[in-house]
Structure formats: C-alpha cells, structure tokens
Amino acid sequence: MFMHTIWDVRGCSLEISTNSIWFSVEYRLSPEYKYPIWLNDCIEVTKYIIENKTLYGETSTKVGVAGDSAGGAIAAVICHTLKNIDFQILVYPLTNMLASFPSSKRFTDVQYGLIPILRHWFNDNAIRDGNDMRDARVSVIFQSSFTGLPPCLFIVAELDPLLDDKYQKLLDKAGIKTKLVLIKGVIHSFFHLPGIFPKSCQQAVEAIRDFVAQV
C-alpha cells in the first residue's frame, strides 16, 4: 500500500519513518498573497495529487493531508473541500481566529513563542479583513457540518496558547475517529525545532508513523 501526504512544513521528512511519500506544498505566502490565494494553491495541489496518484503509486494509494499551526488549519479545510481524503494530521492547528482560549490567556509570556501580539500580526497579514476571520475556510470551526471527514491525528503542545482549541471535540461529536497526542513541556512550533526539542520531535514523528500505519 502506498500513502501520499500533503505537508506544509518545509524541510520536514517523514518518508522513511512512515514508508510513504510526502509532498511539501510551496503555496504562495502572505503578506504578498492574502486569503484565499494560499488556500486555493493548497487545494489545487491536493486535487492534482489525487487525480494523478497512479504516477506516484497505484490505484489503491491513500492520500492524506497534514500541517502544523496555520498549515494544520489549511489541511483541515482541504478535508471539508475535497471529500476523497483518507486521513488528516493536524499539529497544533489554528482552527478559530476569533477564539480566546483559556490557554491563550495562560501562555502570554514571550517564552511561549506565540504571544498575542504575534498571533494578531500573523492574522492581519494572512487575511484581507475582519470578515475573513469568520469565513469557514479560514476558521474551519465555523463549518456547517463535520460529518464525512477522514480520521484525524491531533498533535498538541502542552505550553501552547492554542492548547484548548475545541476542533477535536467537534469531530468526536460528529463521529469522526480522532486521536490526540499531547507533547509535554514544549511550546507552539516545537516541531520546527528538532535541534532544541529532539526527543519531543521524535515522539511526534513516532505518533505520526503509528497513525499512518493504522489508516
């Protein structure tokens, strides 16, 4: 069995660990390219992989999407847009730009990385105006339905302002198979920092490997 996963983290190789093929999508970035350009880029690439998966595997090939932070939100939206995704991997995803989580009030010190002023800066540069924050293709938590989605692995960081994100609960309520892995003692974006968090990154990789093997 072959598995292809669309991943948005540049330089992140999981091919050996999961015995699968991973594609890193070089979508156009903000602030030069605001929503919906970057989302449409990712959707189009995913559609291409699905329609041409025999070029990389065979007809039984499974296709999944994955991403971290805003990339996790993009992966989640793709699953709502394209109904033939086989699995999704969301690493500390930002699913609601409007939300003020209890965790976002606990982890406001600069040591936690994603402080409120930085999060607002990212939001302001990624979208056109405040109306986009309520768009279900930006804040996926506003989707009208959560049924029919593929199984989902959530990887979350213990010291993350997004720790209390509620997206998994919505999927669980809709009957979607989910699994949550809490990585203790790490901040948002730890997965980009294997030199600083080697054991934590390895734990995340092993969780992804086990999840993909069971899909």
Q: With left for phi above 0 and alpha for psi between -120 and 50, is residue 185 left, alpha or beta?
A: left
In angstroms, the CA 139 to CA 48 distance is 24
Catalytic residue among 20, 69, 103, 139: 69
Please indicate whether residue 69 is annotated as part of the active site. yes
Phi, psi of 24 (to 5 degrees): -100, 120
Sign of the dihedral through C-alpha 69, 154, 129, 28: positive
> Which residue numbers are catalytic?
69
